[in-house]
Amino acid sequence: MPRRKIAALAAYVLAIVAANWLTSRFGQVHLPGMALKVTAGTYAAGAALLLRDVVQEVCGARWVFVGIAAGALLTACTSPSLAVASTVAFLLAELLDMAVYTPLRRRGWARAALASGCVGALVDTLVFLSIAGFPLTTASVGGQLVGKLAWATALPVAAVLAVRWVRHGSVLRHPVNA
């Protein structure tokens, strides 16, 4: 397997494990400057949602499931209950992601990543919080969505688009590659 594929898969698995380790270690925390709560692993989980699209792009869709399984096994070493919650949430979010990301990908990576990130974040948040035993309040669901969508999805996608714009003069010139 080429280095690029190994790096994508490793980053995805590490994001899953980091999200679960941080959550098991620190639980819920307040989102700085807001009246919202997040699990301590929210940003890593949001990164995992975006990295999932990268793995699908670089390695193929079936490797996403390999990454979820590897993340589950590694998480189970420290927190079996979070491993179950995380695995179910990531699997459901992945199935919906495929329904959104794959057809939209032909119209550009950024559009597909943002749309699938929205769907994935909502499903992942509701399923994970429910199974892991965290409260489903406006503060906790809202905090999770702000963390996953704004900080861990929208900002990295914007950064990629900015780099492409600087390198190529336009992110719209090649819509399939954008």
CATH number at residue 97: 1.10.1760
Q: What is Dmax (Cα atoms) for the chain?
A: 48
177 part of a folded domain: no
pLDDT tops 70 at residue 171: no
Q: Report d(CA 150, CA 6) in Å as an integer.
A: 27
Domain assignment of residue 22, yes or no = yes
Residue 154 has pLDDT above 80, yes or no: yes
79-133 tens-digit pLDDT: 999 999 999 999 998 888 889 988 998 999 899 989 988 998 899 999 999 999 9
Q: Tell me whether residue 176 is in a domain.
A: no
Instruction: Indicate the number of domains in the chain.
Output: 1
Whether residue 174 lies inside any domain: the answer is no
| 172 φ, ψ (degrees, to nearest 5) | -95, -10
Q: For residue 60, is it within any domain?
A: yes
173 domain residue, yes or no = no
Per the CB < 8 A criterion, the answer to whether 50 and 153 are in contact is yes
12 in any annotated domain: yes
Is 17 among the domain residues? yes
Angle at 8 between CA 176 and CA 122, to 5 degrees: 75
- Whether 137 shows a pLDDT value over 60: the answer reads yes
Task: Report whether 123 contacts 96 (CB < 8 A).
Answer: yes
What pLDDT, on the 0 to 100 scale, is given for residue 94? Answer: 86
Model pTM score? 0.85
* Stretch (H or E) spanning 39: strand 37-39
Q: For the chain, how many residues are written?
A: 178
Q: How far, in Å, CA of 173 to CA of 167, rounded?
A: 12
Domain of 40 in residue numbering reads as 3-168
pLDDT for residue 117: 87
> Using an 8 Å Cβ cutoff, are 17 and 75 in contact?
yes
What's the average model confidence in pLDDT over 26-35?
88
